[in-house]
Amino acid sequence: MSKPTITIHNTETDEYVTREMNETEIAQWKADQAAYAEFEKQQLEKQMKRLAVLEKLGLTEEEAKVLLG
């Protein structure tokens, strides 16, 4: 399996260099992916809680938006 690649843009010369990521960059990339997956999970949980509250109140999302401005 080949390593992920990274593209670096030198804005002074407008040169682009594409190369394989080194081990440090791969570790950071994986950590970033894990953090983003956790963020998406938290956002989904928050949305599900909002919808549950709206359902208990008998309101649609549009009605809640009108009420909350």
Contact predicate 3/20, CB 8 Å: yes
The size of the chain, in residues, is 69
Contact predicate 15/7, CB 8 Å: no
What does the CA dihedral 39, 41, 42, 46 come to, rounded to 10 degrees? 140
Q: Alpha helices of 1-69 — where are they, by DSSP H?
A: 23-57, 61-68
pLDDT exceeds cutoff 90 at 68? no
Element (H, E) at 16: strand 15-20
Q: Residues 9-66: pLDDT tens digits?
A: 999 999 999 999 999 999 999 999 999 999 999 999 999 999 999 999 999 989 988 9
pLDDT exceeds cutoff 70 at 1? no
Give the residue extent of every domain in the chain.
5-68
pLDDT exceeds cutoff 90 at 2? no
